[in-house]
Each structure stands twice: as C-alpha cells, then as structure tokens.
Structure 1
Amino acid sequence: MAKSEGLKIRPLDDRIVVEGVEAEAQTAGGIYLPDNAKQKPQQGIVKAVGPGKLNDKGERTPVSVKVGDKVLYTRYGGNEVEVDGVEYKILREADILAKFAN
C-alpha cells in the first residue's frame, strides 16, 4: 500500500511524490542571488511513496526511500503537478540520485 503524508494524490508502482526545496538565496561566499539566477530545485522532501514495482514473478519490489527522506533527483526527470496550491514532482525511483543522511 502507498504511504503518504495526508496528500490527495497516491503514487502508483515505483513512483514517488516529492516537494521541492527552494535553492539558497545566498552563496557560501556571501553573494546574494537574484531570482532569475536560481536553478530549479533538485532536492526535495518525499511526501508519498508508491507500493513498488512488480517484478517478473508478480511480486512487489519495495521502494528504497520513505516519506520524510530528503532526496536529490535528476533535473529534468519526472512530472510537475500542483495539488491544493502546492507544487510537487512525481518521479520514478530511478530518477532519485541520492538520499541525504539524517
């Protein structure tokens, strides 16, 4: 069964719903970046996880991330959707590059 944080959207198979984390407005050197210089977020917090992909035997392969994990994902992967005024990205598990350590 899919796990989520009370969202009105449930991902299927190995899909994951991620809410993007905004880019920093200031660099490590102290330079402030204008809005047009910021890149689209590639980091986000997992908000919902699908039940996993079916393997050749018809069994579900569990997804390796869970709700609340902070992840790094590919820049152009997935689809952007808006639910209740909040923008989310729906990604396949393969689009997730890394999980940040807690």
Structure 2
Amino acid sequence: MAKRLIPTLNRVLVEKIVPPSKTTAGILLPEKSSKLNSGKVVAVGPGLRGEAGGNHIPVAVKEGDTVLLPEYGGTQVKLGEKEYHLYRDEDILGTLHD
C-alpha cells in the first residue's frame, strides 16, 4: 500500500532533483558540476494563521513548482522506496522558471 504524506501548517514536501551523472553520449560528469540544489514540490500544507486577527497566510509555492533549496536543512522522509525532504515555507529560497 502506497503512503501519501500531506504536510501540516506551512511545510512543503519536496523531491530533490538529482543532476545526471553522465551525458547522453556517455561522458561521466564530475559530482560537483551542478551546484544548484533544487527540487520539485510534491505537496504543500494549508498555511498558517496570523497572530493579528487569525488571517490565513497561504504557502508561497504550489505542487509541481521547481524550487531552489538551502544547502542544509529540511527533514528527510522516506515513503516506500522514494526519499523526500520537508521544509518550512520560509526556508525555500525561491522558485525556478525556464
């Protein structure tokens, strides 16, 4: 049975994007050739309630976004055979666009 994790509050579930280790022609790439630490947003929590008046503060990213992640941080989560990371919304550095 496959498990699904739905983050709470302002947390974001991210699957890290692993850069390819070799090109399509078969040339091996150095491990540090791509310094970009990015991931694909898998699920987001509902957001927070603000202190003043209880206003709803939504999460800044949505499912499917490609995001820039900090070098350190996040909580590692393993669901089945896949590995994910949980970050707080404010820890995500930005979104990446083509």
Q: 2:56 aligns with which of 56, 60, 76?
A: 60
Q: Give TM-score, length-normalised by structure 2.
A: 0.79
Q: 1:96 aligns with which of 85, 89, 92?
A: 92
Aligned mates of 2:50, 2:6 — CA distance in 1:
20
- Which amino acid counterpart does residue 46 of structure 2 have in structure 1? P
The structure number with the bigger radius of gyration is 2
What is the aligned length?
92
Unaligned runs of 5+ in 1: 1-5
Q: Give TM-score, length-normalised by structure 1.
A: 0.76
Pair 1:72-2:68 in alignment: yes
- 1:7–1:48 CA contact under 8 A, matched in 2: no
In structure 2, the CA distance between the partners of 1:68 and 1:94, relative to structure 1 (3 Å rule), is: same
Aligned mates of 1:9, 1:65 — CA distance in 2:
17
Unaligned runs of 5+ in 2: none
In structure 2, the CA distance between the partners of 1:46 and 1:14, relative to structure 1 (3 Å rule), is: same
Name the % identity.
39
Pair 1:43-2:49 in alignment: no
CA RMSD of aligned residues (A): 2.5
Higher mean C-alpha deviation, range 48-57 or range 38-47 = 38-47
